[in-house]
Structure 1
Amino acid sequence: MRIAVTGSSGKLGRATVERLRADGHDVIGFDLVGAPGFGFTRVDLQDYGQVLDALLGVTARHEGLDALVHLAALPVNGLVPDAATFTNNVTATFHVLHGAVRAGIDTIVTASSITAMGFPDFAHLTALPVDETYTEANNTYALGKVAEEAISAQLVGWREGLSITALRFTNVVDPDEYGSFERAGDPEYRRDLLHSYVDSRDGAAAVALALRHAAPGFEVYNVAAPDSGMTVPTAELAARHYPDVPVVKQLGEFETLMSIDKARDRLGFEPQHLWRDEYARWRAEQATP
């Protein structure tokens, strides 16, 4: 397919572009920054005219798209004032999704977030592990993700055959970032992420699978590694941090508290890059003269 990836210069964006090209797709990046060339066009997603024009076609780049992957966003609260975080992200997403509808693009995958399910406090959880049926926003970044999911759920009713898949990514870790897992024995480590993580390459694999299995309508999937980022057993973490929240399944020793059962069952998602292996590799690299 010919696929546009917004946010192509970001951590997940770079991995996604690499994965989709390796799968044989023709990929063009849309972002404010990127390497000049046939695989990139500078697009300001705050400008609807630019977005719609880029989706319809760009001279010397493409004459129409088969699919769209929307990953661009201010990634966290704090980079700009809170209201600006919400306004920037929701505006960009609306421009991209609405523009795609107008451009006749039927397959869309968009980045949602663990922040749409209670981050960072998870104070009102109803069950563990947390699945896609639970939604709660505790900051303006999260509120934007909830709004974007709601927009997507409505837009699929505007045109027959339209598919939008929202992927709720947890913290994305690049291969060179596994040094932080030295804290894996601290029960407070990654508490604000339900102790979860996902390798950027596995995040990109989830995008590829969502495109492959796209079907008309709107779906949400959690995207995380199958294990926690901890050496502390998951049941112990659940009892320590969420003593009043029912645990609805038998937990594996280090099973993630951010359920990926739906993505496994429906998309065939099975992450390959787990922190114990990656941390060992990182340690070996640090020891090499």
Structure 2
Amino acid sequence: MIIGVTGSGGKLGRATVAELRERGHDVIGFDLTGPAGPGFVRVDFTDYGQTLDAFLGVTARHDGLDALVHLAALPVNGLVPDATTFDNNVSVSFHVLFAAHRAGIRRIVSASSITAMGFPFDVAPPALPVDESYTQANNTYGLGKVVEEAMAGQLVSWHPETSIAALRFTNVVDEAGYDTFERASDPDYRRDLLGTWIDARDGALAVALALANARPGFEVYNVAAPESGLSIPSRELAQRWFPGTPVAEDLGEFESLVSTRKLREQLGFVARHDWR
């Protein structure tokens, strides 16, 4: 396929471009900055005209896209004022999804976030591990992701062949970030992420699998490493962090407290990287 990747210059974007190219796809990266050449187009997604034009075709780059991966966003709260984070990300996602609809792109994977489901988890979730049915935004970045998921869930019905998968990524770690796991025995480490993490290359694998297994409709998948980023057993962490909260009887010893069962069972995801 010819696949466009928005936010191609980011940590996850770079890994996704590499993964898709290794699978034989032609990939066009779209971002504000990137390497000059046939695989990249500079686009400001706050401008709907640029967005639509970029998806319809760019001279000497592509004549149309078969699929789209939407990763572009302000990645966290704090880089700009909070309202700006929300305004930018929701507006950009609308431009991307609506332009894709107008351009006839029916296979879409869009980055959502663990922040749509309780981050920083000051309030106990209803059960552990937390699955895709739970939604609770506590900051403007997470609220934006909730809005983007709702928007995708509506837009997907505007054409019977459209498929949109929203991937709720947890903290993405690249190869240079593995030294942070020196704190893995500290029960406060990654507490606000429920101990979760995902290698950027495995996040890219999840994107590739979501594209390969696309079917009409809207789906949400949690994307985290199936095992936590701590050396403390998960049941012990659950009791420490959320005493009294129901825990699945079949929870694995170090299984992620953000459930990845849907990702593994429906898309066949098997992580290739482990901090251990």
Separation (CA, whole Å) in 1 of partners of 2:160 and 2:255: 39
Alignment of 1:171-190 (within 5 A): 171-190=171-190
Q: Secondary structure at the match of 1:17?
A: helix
Match of 2:67 in 1: 67
Indicate yes or no: 2:104 matched with 1:110: no
Shift of the alpha carbon at 1:187? Answer: 0.2
Shift of the alpha carbon at 1:244? Answer: 2.4
- CA deviations 1:154-205 (Å, max 9, x no partner) are 0011111100000000000001110011100000000000100000000000
- CA deviations 1:39-94 (Å, max 9, x no partner) are 00000000000000000000000001000000010000000000000001001000
Q: Secondary structure at the match of 1:156?
A: helix
Match of 1:254 in 2: 254
Separation (CA, whole Å) in 1 of partners of 2:166 and 2:193: 18
Shift of the alpha carbon at 1:17? Answer: 0.1
- CA deviations 1:105-132 (Å, max 9, x no partner) are 0000000000001001251411100000
Match of 2:222 in 1: 222
Alignment of 1:63-142 (within 5 A): 63-142=63-142
Match of 1:198 in 2: 198
Shift of the alpha carbon at 1:8? Answer: 0.2
Separation (CA, whole Å) in 2 of partners of 1:124 and 1:154: 29
Normalised by the length of structure 2, the TM-score is: 0.99
Separation (CA, whole Å) in 2 of partners of 1:254 and 1:262: 18
Q: Secondary structure at the match of 2:248?
A: coil
Q: Secondary structure at the match of 1:275?
A: coil
Unaligned runs of 5+ in 1: 277-289
Indicate yes or no: 2:27 matched with 1:27: yes
Return the letter of the residue paired with 1:64.
G
Separation (CA, whole Å) in 2 of partners of 1:234 and 1:25: 38
Separation (CA, whole Å) in 2 of partners of 1:259 and 1:122: 18
Match of 2:154 in 1: 154
Separation (CA, whole Å) in 2 of partners of 1:51 and 1:118: 31
Normalised by the length of structure 1, the TM-score is: 0.95
Separation (CA, whole Å) in 1 of partners of 2:177 and 2:139: 26
Q: Secondary structure at the match of 1:269?
A: coil
Deviates more, 1:59-68 or 1:117-126: 117-126
Match of 1:169 in 2: 169
Separation (CA, whole Å) in 1 of partners of 2:31 and 2:249: 42
Identity of aligned residues (%): 68
Corresponding pairs, count: 276
Separation (CA, whole Å) in 2 of partners of 1:3 and 1:90: 22
Separation (CA, whole Å) in 1 of partners of 2:250 and 2:189: 23
Return the letter of the residue paired with 1:211.
L
- CA deviations 1:204-233 (Å, max 9, x no partner) are 000000000000000000001011111111
Separation (CA, whole Å) in 2 of partners of 1:252 and 1:109: 29
Separation (CA, whole Å) in 2 of partners of 1:249 and 1:169: 25
Match of 2:42 in 1: 42
Separation (CA, whole Å) in 1 of partners of 2:143 and 2:233: 31
The alignment's C-alpha RMSD in Å is 0.7
- CA deviations 1:235-269 (Å, max 9, x no partner) are 11000001121112322111110100001111001
Q: Secondary structure at the match of 1:245?
A: coil
Separation (CA, whole Å) in 2 of partners of 1:68 and 1:122: 35
Q: Secondary structure at the match of 2:202?
A: helix
Separation (CA, whole Å) in 2 of partners of 1:158 and 1:244: 43
Return the letter of the residue paired with 1:28.
I
